[in-house]
Structure 1
Amino acid sequence: MATAAVIAASEVLELTEPLPLDCGQQLEGVRIAYEAYGTLSPARDNVVLIQHATTGDQHVASPHPKTGKPGWWDRMVGPGKPIDTDRFFVLCANVLGSCMGSTGPGSLAPDGKPYAMRFPVITIRDMVRAQVALLDTLGIDKLYCVVGGSMGGMQSLSLAANWPHLPERIMVIAATATMPAQNIAFQEVGRQAITADPNWQQGAYYGTGKAPDAGLAVARMAAHITYLSEASLTEKFGRRLQDRASKTFGFDADFQVESYLRHQGASFTNRFDANSYLYITRAMSYFDLAEEHGGLLADAFRASDARFCVISFDTDWLYPTELSRKLVHALNASGAQVSFVELSAPFGHDSFLLEVPALDRVIAGFLSR
């Protein structure tokens, strides 16, 4: 790969070898969409890999091609920003199973038809396995740092546990090493909303002109509630009515918070694929690093020499600080170098995506050491 400056370069790479999966199957011709920012050093030792959350994508610091909105972490990645592209070569790949260019259920199978539900069930480790194949193809055998929030943090932990030779630093933000039962339950509600939509058509809706948008919107609404805090919802909406002086005594969106959720659900269907949502949330539900390593979480990290930074938020009830502390205890037990901080922010789980200056300082400080 050339070492010239690469600013927001969008690429799609096709793997030349089949990708083995945890389910026992393998995928041929896997395509991985990614973006690169900054300049790769001659020694190839300045790579920062960013791993995105559930419904995120590779457009970490460039406008989204469907919505036109700024990149999902534009405030964090760029020249002079905490993840400084004047210093680092930053990569972000769309995960396996998604719908923004990487191979997923909406992609064409070898028979020329969309995979749909023929796509094999994947895991977080499979997503990382695809990213490692990307790195191998690009000739990158060392990562200065891996950074991930939410599902991205799960990927970061999986990389540290299963490819310990790659990362020098691991930053895990608002994430967990084992998906708890409550979160599995929320994800199942979303999947059931999608599959109950008549337009889902057993997943074979591609090319029919009908997609399970109603089900996907409800799934997004349910998930979005978990990303926020009660305090932020109360401050932003409270019990205020939406464009009316009194209640309608019907089932329209009387309250502002109802209108907001409906808008979030509807807009989500314009940029995401319902089947991808099924597969990605199933991968998250399966995630259990302790189970993968004989039942003891500390054993997952014994081969790693990386330095870890674990960050939680005090209003995050989806992945509360308690889960981060359990991870830190396991890392300590494994002998890893680990720092931990709980940050105060009013936004709930989504705090890692929003204006939290303390997070900027922690990230910049960890990368500068």
Structure 2
Amino acid sequence: MTDTRASVAPGSSTRGEQPRATAAWRPGDPVGHRQFLEIEALPLEADPLGAIDVSLAYETWGELNEPKDNAIYVAHAFTGDSHVMGEAGPGHPSAGWWPGVVGPGKAIDPERHFIVCANVVGGCQGTTGPAHPHPEDGKPWGSRFPWVTVRDMVAAEVRLADALGIDRWRMVLGPSLGGLRALEWAATYPERVRGIGVIGATAATTADQIAWGSAQAQAIKLDPDFLGGDYYETEAGPERGLALAREIAHTTYRTSAELEARFGREVQHGDPLTPDGQFAVQSYLAHHGRKLVGRFDANSYLRMIHAVNTHDVGRGRGGAKPALAAFEGQALVVAVDSDRLYTVEDARSTAAALPNGAEVTVLEATSGHDSFLADWPALIDEARQFERSL
């Protein structure tokens, strides 16, 4: 079995020796609470390389019990990472991203569960991605990094489960991209999942969702500092393009009603009749763009868009319903009534594809798709009740 724990990060390079053109974690940066699994020759769906070696960064909380039936995999969202719980600190630019659901006394509790979360393949917070050194020349992968799919990401997570001695997850759950992976687990490895939690996700990405992702991708690619994806050895990366992509995305994560109630036509500064004036809502979006630039990488963002846009559990399997037919576990499908990115209808079509009479739980919130990140009692209660029913 591969050694799944590491006290230092793979590699020997240091951030101080490299120009800062990205906020990606790179070998030599502080490890924080990460552990690493070295995966040899991970097969890829559509890349001409066929397979690549991957260092998978993950974190765990709690202990695996003797019958090994308390393991829960938490799958992070689009720009998330393995740090689902804990404080910010060396190696972790942000505090745990799901404190409302995961933590002591929460629905997913390290006192009761063995909790695992890994950064996806192609990500930028520890797992091998575009900012990592290429095995042939030691320079960043950059534009050479494969265009991975959700199925590739799940294939790496399966290797992690094997290495940890987990034959069957009690539950795989996650929001957004995490929900897509939960569905892929149920379709590809139904015997290894007892229950799935699909929150703000869909069985197949829609044309509308692809359109929004495509606009974000163009924002990055049109940044003059993108350099076709090979910007790591420069002093200026595509910060403007990445920030703009996040502004576009964040608009879809919130709701029209919320933005109107919070900002209306309030002016942040200057005269909005002049080019130097700015409305408060513009300042708000710019703030979120800057925040993402401080913790993410543009090439990884493009790989996440590609994975989401190509997601379809029914691809090559005769459709979603046949693809999920072998899943005998239970499913929690949660939609937010105000989510304009992953709609209630998306959730209903997903539930209809699941066997065992899955139903959609529609929760009310004014903040749209991003509601799952809040300390939200309704979601916490649903997750807790579902976990205890397994």
Smaller-chain TM-score bracket: over 0.9
**Selected match of 2:256 from 207, 230, 238:** 230
Pair 254,67 (structure 1): closer, same or farther in 2 beyond 3 Å = farther
Which whole-Å deviations, capped at 9, do the CAs of 1:92-141 have from their partners, x for residues lacking one? 10011110000111111111121111111110000111111111112111
**Selected match of 2:306 from 270, 282, 301:** 282
Where does 1:45-84 land on structure 2 (aligned, <5 Å)?
Answer: 45-65=69-89, 68-84=93-109
Are the equivalent residues in 2 in contact too, given 1:60–1:92 (CA < 8 A)? yes
**Selected match of 1:96 from 101, 105, 121:** 121
Deviation, 1:68, is 4.8
Matched, 1:33 2:57: yes
Q: Secondary structure at the match of 2:81?
A: coil
Counterpart of 2:337 in structure 1 is 314
Are the equivalent residues in 2 in contact too, given 1:345–1:356 (CA < 8 A)? no
Counterpart of 1:363 in structure 2 is 383
Identity of aligned residues (%): 42
Counterpart of 2:183 in structure 1 is 157
More deviation, 105-114/141-150? 105-114
Pair 202,353 (structure 1): closer, same or farther in 2 beyond 3 Å = same
Deviation, 1:207, is 1.7
**Selected match of 1:346 from 320, 344, 366:** 366
Deviation, 1:309, is 0.9
Q: Secondary structure at the match of 1:291?
A: coil
Q: What code does the residue aligned with 1:86 have?
A: E
CA distance in 2, matches of 1:28, 1:70: 30
Matched, 1:273 2:297: yes
**TM-score under structure 2 length normalisation:** 0.88
CA distance in 2, matches of 1:137, 1:120: 24
Where does 1:109-258 land on structure 2 (aligned, <5 Å)?
Answer: 109-111=134-136, 112-243=138-269, 247-252=271-276, 254-258=278-282
Q: What code does the residue aligned with 1:356 have?
A: W
CA distance in 2, matches of 1:27, 1:18: 5
Deviation, 1:27, is 3.6
**Selected match of 2:44 from 21, 25, 28:** 21
Q: What code does the residue aligned with 1:23 have?
A: A
CA distance in 2, matches of 1:152, 1:202: 28
Q: Secondary structure at the match of 1:29?
A: strand
Which whole-Å deviations, capped at 9, do the CAs of 1:252-287 have from their partners, x for residues lacking one? 352111001111111211110000011110111011
Are the equivalent residues in 2 in contact too, given 1:67–1:271 (CA < 8 A)? no
Are the equivalent residues in 2 in contact too, given 1:302–1:336 (CA < 8 A)? no
Which whole-Å deviations, capped at 9, do the CAs of 1:215-257 have from their partners, x for residues lacking one? 111001000100001121122212111146xx24222352111
Which whole-Å deviations, capped at 9, do the CAs of 1:317-349 have from their partners, x for residues lacking one? 100000111111111xxx335232101111100
CA distance in 1, matches of 2:344, 2:104: 31
Structure 2 runs not aligned, ≥5 long: 4-31
CA distance in 2, matches of 1:266, 1:14: 33
Q: Secondary structure at the match of 2:225?
A: helix
CA distance in 2, matches of 1:114, 1:69: 24
Are the equivalent residues in 1 in contact too, given 2:43–2:52 (CA < 8 A)? no
CA distance in 1, matches of 2:277, 2:265: 12
Deviation, 1:304, is 1.1
CA distance in 2, matches of 1:288, 1:337: 21
Q: What code does the residue aligned with 1:81 have?
A: K
Are the equivalent residues in 1 in contact too, given 2:100–2:376 (CA < 8 A)? no
CA distance in 2, matches of 1:86, 1:278: 37
Pair 187,203 (structure 1): closer, same or farther in 2 beyond 3 Å = same
Which whole-Å deviations, capped at 9, do the CAs of 1:12-34 have from their partners, x for residues lacking one? 2211x310010153343301111
Q: What code does the residue aligned with 1:317 have?
A: R
Deviation, 1:316, is 0.2
CA distance in 2, matches of 1:252, 1:81: 46
Deviation, 1:291, is 2.2
CA distance in 2, matches of 1:26, 1:42: 37
**TM-score under structure 1 length normalisation:** 0.93
Pair 253,41 (structure 1): closer, same or farther in 2 beyond 3 Å = farther
Q: Secondary structure at the match of 2:327?
A: coil
CA distance in 1, matches of 2:244, 2:275: 15
Moved over 3 A (4+): 24-28, 64-69
Counterpart of 2:10 in structure 1 is none
Q: Secondary structure at the match of 2:210?
A: helix
Q: Secondary structure at the match of 2:314?
A: helix
Are the equivalent residues in 1 in contact too, given 2:352–2:358 (CA < 8 A)? no
Q: Secondary structure at the match of 2:204?
A: coil
CA distance in 2, matches of 1:339, 1:37: 30
